[in-house]
Structure 1
Amino acid sequence: MDELTPILIPAAVGALLGAGFVVLARLSARWPQLGSRRMLGYALVATAALYVGLAFASENVKAWFGIEMTGFAIFGSFGLLGLVGSPWWLVVGFALHPLWHVQFHYLGTGAVFTPDWFALGLSGFDAAVALYLLVAILGGLDASLQRKAPAAPQQEKLTRNERRLSKKS
């Protein structure tokens, strides 16, 4: 158990932060202009962006900047697709993101400049959010996650003259 402690503690703290963020996202569902789906999508984009900044701590900034921008493009796309399309994109993005953390920054060559607690903590955060999304979508716990895409803004009512002109065309 002693050899697992340095792995489990940061992952558990990250999972607790992820659970706290989920609570915050659920509370934001009360404000239609924000909504939990939007917050969760932006969170996936933001967690991917964190590693772009971390690339500047490496000895080979150009190579790592390219690697991290690739990750940002991949996971940012999942986040944006989750906003405009199916919320399942968010589940996939948050579920796969820990693999990026572990592969490149905990086990891989990025471990030289990435603190273990950072990679493991973000892995726990992402796993907690992915689990919430899975349960919320399947269980219908969050209405903003049930829609395929956010509703289009309603058109304003036409004036009498505009209605008359539209009938002529």
Structure 2
Amino acid sequence: MEDRESEPELVLVFSGKRKSGKDYEHGLDLNRLLGPGPYKERYRADMIHWGESCRNKDPGFFCHLATRGAREPVWVVSDARRLSDLCWFQSKFPHQTKSVRVQCSDTTRSQRGWDFTPGVDDAESECGLDSGVDFDWIITNEADAPPLDEQLKPVLKLAQEAASSVINIL
């Protein structure tokens, strides 16, 4: 069922709240969903409920979809939202999985267009990884933080090493 020939060398699981710097199956306009504005917000609650329904049946539902057929040595999971997502990767690939939290202040998020929405911003889809997780790296995405390229150096170095280890084997 996994449809995979080999395991990845590295799985980078990124987590962060909205506007800290989902593909859908419902006939919605993907470009409008990816941008800011009322279109996305109108469907957000429905998308969350649909996702919860899928996860209730299978906690790894979206993880399975995201990795089906993946054969690259380095996988980047760009938007883990729940502890069950992170735990799935950690249980399937315990030695390869590294977690990265991207964070910024609510003030910065607001400057990027975020506005607190009850039932969305206090739901598990936004808060599921806020506590109880010992991230391998925490990236601070603020104007007064160290440059992102500097903060990402150890992550990128590990990814390059993982990718080149496969090339050296071939």
TM score, norm. by length of structure 2? 0.26
Task: Work out which structure has the larger RCO, using CA pairs closer than 8 Å and 6 or more positions apart in sequence.
Answer: 2
Structure having the larger proportion of residues in strand: 2
Answer 1 or 2: which has greater helix percent: 1
Higher Cα Rg: structure 1 or 2?
A: 1
